[in-house]
Amino acid sequence: MTPKRVSASQREVQPPQPSLTLVERVPGSTIGAGSLFQGHYEILAKLGQGGFAAVYQARQVATGQLVAIKIMRSGIAGDHSRRVARFQREIRLCARLHHPNIVRLIDSGHTPEGLLYTVFEFVPGENLADVLAREGALDPREARHLMLQVLDALCCAHAQGVVHRDIKPANIMVVPTGARRNAMVLDFGIGALVDAMAGPSPNKTVATNEVVCTPGYAAPEQIKAMRPTARSDLYAWGLVFLESLTGKPAITGGSLQEVLLKQMSSAPVPIPRPLWGHPLGELLREALVKDVRERNVDAEGLFWRLQACKVNGLRRESFLEPAARRAQRSQTTLPLRPRASGRGLALVPSKRPSEADRRQLTALCYGLTALGPGPDAMDIEEVEELISREQASCADLVRRHHGRFAGALGDEVLSYFGSDAAPKDGAVSAGRAALELLSRVQSQSARLEAERGIRLEVRIGLHTGLAGNRDMRGPAHALGTTPAIAARLSALAAPDTIVLSSTTSRLLEGPFTLAHGGALPVEGLDRPVEVFLLRGEKGTPS
């Protein structure tokens, strides 16, 4: 929790003494308005309470300085002395951080009852989460200004070997200190404090015995229970920057599990269209690489690149989603992924070959991913071998249904159906192949999960339209919009689902069971695409 906004007039006068009615009892002590904490701090008021800590505004008795005290809400479990020693060691590192954009750590320790606490300077202002909730997207120049300051704070911390662990809007104060607002980063050292605790995980934070993180801003390696590094902070910083530009979190979901799956997915974090081809977009794309081994960035390098980025040509309005598009997206009833940028096969303009070389085909695109229990149990070479082997088996399955291989990009594979058959027959073969693909992957996933804790996921998209049909002795040519739409539908599909365009659904609605999914915007097309979910073949036991 962070201090709430205090007006300038409130800062200029002595804070009023609150009535002594709020009292909170913790094991062996009483903390409330008017009480003396650790003999040095007079408690003025309770500011808030989070999953791990309660936050109080207090006055340092010796100096009269206003401070914010965070007190852990549960005792230390396990090896008490080792955990306290580790906490104190990391807090001493944080105490060495002297930077105008870092809230100063004043004191820390543990009570006789084993409650860990930290004391920070009290910063009047409003956290970035509240600013974005009230104002929405920031002007790109304002966002750049604040994020440069956060990045400079991270430069200072990382140079001292300190990793924040939980960069998010709620931990960035926006302070009206002068002619313009400035950013101050809160809670350096709180990650060390929480790591030293054991207890139930709060609703909005994921905890293990070694790591704490907020799922919507956590780097994938943190969710895998790896120790966070400086690159983990920069991934979170990139997500906060995107949120500052758009006014909305970059990673969202209807449940904690959905958010975690999106963070763990190989799908890249979508970059807003106004940043496509802009140096700022490239900078953010590099900071948001999912694989920490390929996230080759550091705070100082990003700082100087962002300093050189010119954002005067960017307009806040261009980052806001039009109301019409929001209405179209709200019609979707199926569990689909958010729009993904830079995923799937690129849209290749048709070169309009002769009609003899063009016919109506059904394109099937599927993406296959593997999720493991952690890096210690499954390394990257093992993942690649597993995916490659499974893709080969799926390719054999597609050929048995008279499909033709068209190409592959990463974990996505494209095939065509109907090159030697009527359009409806080709679509039916593609539908049967998709259902068998899904069944096979789910069966393999169940076996691997039982044996090794590894889960496979497949996303399948089908679209019927005109496509190149030349030289079918080898790979089919991927010309026109047909393969691109199939790839986009695959990228939009939730794990273990089959999504069809309306064109394909009309060919399959007789022999198959379908569910309407509403209209989805597909990049490369001027109007939304009606989508359907393929449930199964009629007359086939489920």
Which residues are tagged catalytic?
166
Closest CA to 364 of 387, 384, 345, 379: 345
The β-bridge relationship of strands 455-468 and 497-501 is parallel
3-state secondary structure of 148: helix
CA distance 387 to 286: 25
Contact 201, 218 (CB under 8 A): no
CA distance 399 to 433: 9
Contact 42, 34 (CB under 8 A): yes
CA distance 108 to 74: 16
**Residue count of the chain:** 542
CA distance 30 to 115: 12
Assign residue 125 a region (left: φ > 0; alpha: ψ between -120 and 50; beta: otherwise).
left
Q: How many helices (H) and strands (E) does the chain have?
A: 15, 20
- Count of alpha carbons within 13 Å of 389, Cβ hemisphere only? 9
CA distance 61 to 145: 36
Give the tokens for residue 299. Answer: 């705070």
Contact 532, 511 (CB under 8 A): no
Residues flagged as binding site for ATP: 70
Contact 16, 33 (CB under 8 A): no
3-state secondary structure of 262: helix
Residue 437 CB partners (closer than 8 Å, separation 6+): 366, 394, 397, 398, 458, 460
Neighbours of 330 (CB within 10 A): 10
Burial class (CB in 10 A: 0-12, 13-18, 19+), 197: buried
Partners of 105 in beta bridges: 120
CA distance 46 to 24: 9
CA distance 523 to 136: 25
